[in-house]
Amino acid sequence: MATALKTESYEERRVISESEAAKYCCLSLVHFRRLRRERQGPQYVRITQRRIGYRMRDLAAWIDKRLCN
């Protein structure tokens, strides 16, 4: 695990709130939550029982997967 921490930048590992993640993806919070419920959104981290977060690298990967030709 120590190796993974050395190769990844702080920004890639950073966890942001659900509302910040929705803004980052240019989506409304309601739509972003709907995507998570339908398991179509990016991977998320359950910080507590009631709080969800998103790693920056997971958001970037999710956006990259949605690129059109």
Six-digit token pair at 25? 């993806």
**What is the model's pTM?**
0.81
Q: Which amino acid is at 35?
A: L
Q: Calculate the dihedral angle through the C-alpha atoms of 17, 45, 42, 32, rounding to the nearest 10 degrees.
A: -40
Q: Are the C-beta atoms of residues 43 and 52 closer than 8 Å to each other?
A: no
Please determine, for residue 61, whether its predicted confidence score (pLDDT) is greater than 80.
yes
Dist. CA 8–CA 46, nearest whole Å: 21
What pLDDT is recorded for position 3?
Answer: 54
Task: Supply the mean pLDDT for the chain.
Answer: 90
Tell me the pLDDT tens digit for each residue of 12-31.
889 999 999 999 999 999 99
Higher pLDDT, 42 or 69: 42
Q: Which residues share a beta bridge with 52?
A: 46
